[in-house]
Amino acid sequence: MKHTKWKTAFIMLFLFIPLILLAGCVGNPASAISPVPKAPLKLSAWIAYWDIPAGEKDLRRIGRKLDKLSYFAAAFDQDDRLVIPQELTALREKHKKDKVKAQGYLTFVNDKTNADGSFILKDTEVLCRLLADEAAMDKHIAEIIGLTRQYGYDGIEIDYERIWKDDFVRQVFPVFISKLYLASSKQNIPLRVVLEPGIPFKEAAFTQGPEYVVMLYNLYGIHSDPGPKADPAFIKRTINRMEALPGPKAIALATGGASWGDNGEKKFITEQEAKTLAAVYDVEPVRDEASQCLVFTYTKAGVSYQVWYADVKTLSYWAATANEQGIANITIWRLGGNIDLHEIN
């Protein structure tokens, strides 16, 4: 009988050891088991016209991993005509000569430069005019396809934002995407559509065919108090809502982070800028357990600043979280100012 009791106790202890060990990891994602990817990542990235040297530096290291490279961006002039920055045109020509592996997409944004030189970001009024009726829409589509072909891009990427802020634009935008997809398909030009995470995907009723890329960043930013650009809860919640979108689907993750001063000063910063600040002010960044972002504070001229930013470990964690939810197509905003981005996995 004593032997039986000892044997039973031993078996119970054997069964409970894994549970005890697992419990010791709860609440500490840094030491917990990382999300297990379901499929190999398929990477894309943006390169911006205002930061080409830094973007090229990142591209040289990560280029072989990229499936698509989006050139950011064509925007509108004072006459509602699309204009591509000269820096971007020169870069595209260089990449064609260098035979860059990634497919080149030209990104179109609804930013506008006025006659007086002022600049409007995410302008919905220009979209109201260009999508006003079928004739205006067809003309806009022809201009998009014409520029894409003229400058030798492989694909079209539409990144029109704040579209759900305007009642008219929110109604006609899905129609525009459907017509653009039909027209671009006839020219064998693939189409990507970048969407903000707050869009009601069920209500939008987007057409099957384009690749839909949902931005999974700016959970916190210069619009808010300090915090991470993304975290697992935000990623999972948004991907769950993305089920209403037709395929194929992708998500966008953001590099770098932001700085918040207690005087109200807020700005976005790159990973390299964040690491430089930490070195200059001799502070050691701490990894936030929930988001896996790096965080530190420093004081300058009596102002206290808090910095949150992502490194390659953060991005890999976010990507793996998305992959667990069935999304392996990851687009990075953006090339430039990163340190070990090429090690993302």
Query: For residue 226, what pLDDT is reported?
Result: 98
Query: For residue 271, what pLDDT is reported?
Result: 98
Q: What confidence tens digit (pLDDT) does each residue in 312-340 have?
A: 999 999 999 999 999 999 999 999 999 99
Query: For residue 12, what pLDDT is reported?
Result: 38
> 334, 55 in Cβ contact below 8 A?
yes
- Chunked into runs of 10 residues, the chain (345 residues) has average pLDDT values of 38 35 36 58 97 98 97 98 98 97 98 95 98 98 98 98 96 98 98 97 95 97 97 98 95 98 98 98 98 98 98 98 97 98 96
Give Cα 98 to chain centroid, integer Å: 26
**Which sign does the torsion angle of CA 235, 237, 241, 243 carry?**
positive
> 70, 46 in Cβ contact below 8 A?
yes
Query: For residue 113, what pLDDT is reported?
Result: 96
C-alpha 147/C-alpha 161 separation (Å) is 21
C-alpha 287/C-alpha 307 separation (Å) is 12
Query: For residue 25, what pLDDT is reported?
Result: 34
Q: Which fold has domain 35-254+310-343?
A: TIM Barrel (3.20.20)
Q: What is the pTM of this model?
A: 0.89
Please name the residues in contact with 48: beta carbons below 8 A apart, sequence gap of 6 or more.
55, 72, 73, 334, 335, 336
Query: For residue 9, what pLDDT is reported?
Result: 38
Query: For residue 37, what pLDDT is reported?
Result: 55
